[in-house]
A and B are shown apart, each in its own frame.
Chain A
């Protein structure tokens, strides 16, 4: 799930307002966008990129697609994912928030059967500084992203952005940013992202930006114990009241499940340095 310079990317929903804006940014950054999808505008060029009726058609006519990124509204997301998975993409980046849970589960089942990795839903995307980015992150802002050796995992786009900005302020660039998403049922978990960064040669330290809700941080503790690379973590939501969805559908504490205390103690017992504020992340990386 670390996006590379040569990866062939197709943008579903490319001709929309957001799709157009972010495709231009991705192209400008060096992402190899080989096509866009909009059945009503197939055959046209949009911002210099050919538009196809489907990901299947894009794959057939451009010599294959590695990654698809969806700028698709919730009600149409399942059909778009079926198209991308059917076209054989290896990585599907689902930016859409508020997709019906039933459709999300179907998407995961289809992807699982086809060997396709889903990142998201409700992710801000993936950035590999100096190589490529896919999604809606300010990769092109040199105050936030520069090549380096810190791998960042974040459920949140906005908070992930702040953490990356702080890292650069402290002189640390990033090897990869993996936005895993704010939904409860994610295709790529914290543990999956940790595995990828542990294997990545450019990464020598990892920042895990967690948040309350679910049990992904707790589940990742065993993975972290077996890792060579140091992990520093900030977990959002310490001041959030229980029983309320804090913006993200996944960010809710039920009883003790998903609580800040539970995540912090699980990570600390695995040897993670958990810090109290985003500003303390880079300091902890130095130790």
Chain B
């Protein structure tokens, strides 16, 4: 779950990490009033997306009039697919040096990694070769490193502790600035919290940024299903992430386009009934491929859910089954008996039939 700058900075502030004084504002008048209190300011679009500056979402202002005009221009902009609904009005700092620091979950070392660079303020990709990587022993926590100046070591220690405390997978300060008058300040901040940890982060769960989601994707989430809407017309219901992606791949291989990703693997294999309803709710769907290959997920249980949903919803669309693995015999018998349909023996044949039927 991503956090917008304003929320991330509030967490920094609470952790004793210096951030500029600022106020999040929903309208131009509030922004003008904030600038009146703060003086020379930056007016910054709040969206969970990078490259805000390049998109014109960050402006420097000298007084309340300029702040009002800047906020008017920025509010309502679309940046990275998000409509700007708030701006952060923040007091400008006297910058002597811009640095970069982040703590991330590192896949290669399977542990936390501190990233540091003496040239901050730009895209991470642009400075990749200037980043120092400092692996952290998760058992001991962050110990300062000879690469880092003493004050920066102390800053990183507090940042690392916040990263641990929030179950972050990424906590990035870019730029971290050294002020002309001395001292460090986190000028921008990006926080992504591990979705799998939200159950033990009740204070954070409600504060995450908006997510780009369609109405059907929202319904999928409410049902506890991983549903992603796609532009095609062949509806997909499969179990397991790998098999579901593969079903989409084979649809394209056969000249069709998938209408969705939807998998009911893992513990969700008992949710076939709701899942089929979701596939059918997309008006673009012209045919459906139901592809089950049971390992942990029992195909007889999944087929039972599909049959129940089918009998309730009575859809008129053509559906094609491929069913293999755990519970296969019972599943095939159920589909034959209750729906009068014969699952295909080969998955590719079932997919091809679904693609043809959607044309």
Contacts and interface: CB of A to CB of B under 8 A. Distances in A.
Contacts of B293: 158-159, 161-162, 165
Interface in A221-265: 234, 236-241, 244-249, 251, 255
17 contacts: A74-B199, A98-B196, A99-B196, A102-B138, A109-B137, A109-B139, A124-B296, A141-B328, A156-B241, A157-B242, A158-B295, A158-B297, A161-B293, A162-B325, A211-B245, A240-B245, A278-B348
A101 B266 contact: no
A6 to B, nearest CB: 24
A102 B199 CA distance: 13
A124 B200 contact: no
Given A185-B105, A278-B347, A279-B348, A161 B324 contact: yes
Main secondary structure, interface of B, reads mixed
Contacts of A245: 226
A167 B101 CA distance: 49
Contact of A247 (B137, B199, B245, B346): B245
A184 B228 CA distance: 20
Given A144-B324, A185-B110, A238-B252, A101 B245 contact: no
A109 B346 CA distance: 43
Contacts of B252: 238-239
A112 B135 CA distance: 15
- Give the bracket for the number of chain A residues in contact with chain B: 35 or more
B261 A156 contact: no
A102 B194 contact: yes
A159 B249 CA distance: 12
Contacts of A97: 266
A155 interface: yes
A207 B265 CA distance: 23
A277 B139 contact: no
Contacts of B251: 239
- Kindly list the 3 A-B residue pairs having the minimum CB-CB distance in the complex, ordered from nearest: A156-B242, A158-B240, A247-B241
Of B125, B139, B200, B326, most A-chain CB atoms within 10 Å: B326
Given A98-B196, A109-B138, A137-B295, A279 B347 contact: yes
A75 interface: yes
A255 B195 CA distance: 21
Interface string B243-266: 111101111110000100101011
Interface in A168-207: 182, 184-185, 187
B281 interface: no
Contacts of A277: 249-250, 253, 348
A124 B242 CA distance: 12
Contacts of A249: 195-196
Nearest to A248: B241
A237 B245 contact: yes
B242 A248 contact: yes
B239 interface: yes
B348 A251 contact: no
A128 interface: no
